A and B are shown apart, each in its own frame.
Chain A
Amino acid sequence: NAGVTQTPKFQVLKTGQSMTLQCAQDMNHEYMSWYRQDPGMGLRLIHYSVGAGITDQGEVPNGYNVSRSTTEDFPLRLLSAAPSQTSVYFCASSYSTDINNEQFFGPGTRLTVL
């Protein structure tokens, strides 16, 4: 199993550009989520999904869109990038929302918005 994969690893955008951060898992996990990590801020939840076709907002959803058309993929879209979205983005997945199911994280995407 590849686990949770994220592409790209690094990305530089200009203000106003749009892009999609890709996340895929091959563990047949129902629950997937996106976090951002900023210095001194820990991990903050952006959006999450409890299954294909179902998404919900987390703590910091503004400026981001998600969709979940398949169990495997959970892309995160930046509609119009802003410098405040400079961060490291982590995708995570687990078998279900049951807390006893370990949540696995991807290696992260480091995004810089100029």
Chain B
Amino acid sequence: DQQVKQNSPSLSVQEGRISILNCDYTNSMFDYFLWYKKYPAEGPTFLISISSIKDKNEDGRFTVFLNKSAKHLSLHIVPSQPGDSAVYFCAASALYNSGNTPLVFGKGTRLSVIA
């Protein structure tokens, strides 16, 4: 059973417009969410994160929104640039007494930004 779902395998956006990548989760114990970016032939790199005590976190052109009641988060990229073309993974973790659980990843969304 997939706990972190990215239902859009791909997304194509024009340069300068907004890119919105979506992620849904089923485990209500998740309390920390991350986005990773991956270029071909490279390992994923951390992009931005959000704790469940917040509903928004912003870092430059990247903003992550969290809707806990809907178990949904989204990554907004404004304005989109050709260099943003990559696969984006949503990941989640839960905090227990022994520490955070290992990250659970979604299947990824391939973003193509067209010049």
In the complex, which of the residues B45, B89, B99, B102 has the most CB atoms of chain A within 10 Å of its own CB atom?
B102
Q: A42-B108, A99-B32, A99-B93 are in contact. Are A48 and B43 (CB under 8 A)?
A: no
* A97 lies within 8 A of B100 (CB): yes
Q: Is A26 on the interface with B (CB-CB < 8 A)?
A: no
CA distance A103 to B46 in the complex (A): 7
* Closest CB in chain A relative to B96 CB, distance in Å: 10
Point out the residues of chain B lying under 8 angstroms from A104, CB to CB: 43, 46
Q: Is B59 on the interface with A (CB-CB < 8 A)?
A: no
CA distance A98 to B51 in the complex (A): 13
B45, B100, B102: the one contacting A98 at CB < 8 Å is: B100
B45, B93, B100, B105: the one contacting A42 at CB < 8 Å is: B105
How many residues belonging to A are interface residues under a CB distance threshold of 8 Å?
26
Point out the residues of chain A lying under 8 angstroms from B105, CB to CB: 35, 42-44
Q: Is B9 on the interface with A (CB-CB < 8 A)?
A: yes
CA distance A11 to B9 in the complex (A): 28
CA distance A42 to B93 in the complex (A): 16
Point out the residues of chain A lying under 8 angstroms from B49, CB to CB: 99
Q: Is B114 on the interface with A (CB-CB < 8 A)?
A: no
Prevailing SS type, chain B contact patch: strand
In the complex, which of the residues B4, B43, B106 has the most CB atoms of chain A within 10 Å of its own CB atom?
B43
* Closest CB in chain A relative to B4 CB, distance in Å: 8
Point out the residues of chain A lying under 8 angstroms from B99, CB to CB: 50, 96-98
* B89 lies within 8 A of A58 (CB): no
Point out the residues of chain B lying under 8 angstroms from A90, CB to CB: 43-44
Q: List 24 A-B contacts (CB under 8 A).
A: A4-B43, A35-B105, A40-B9, A42-B105, A42-B106, A42-B108, A43-B44, A43-B89, A45-B102, A45-B104, A58-B102, A59-B104, A90-B44, A97-B99, A99-B93, A103-B46, A103-B103, A104-B43, A105-B43, A105-B44, A105-B45, A107-B42, A107-B43, A108-B42
Q: Which 9 A-B pairs have the closest CB atoms?
A: A105-B43, A42-B107, A43-B105, A97-B99, A99-B100, A99-B32, A42-B105, A102-B46, A105-B44
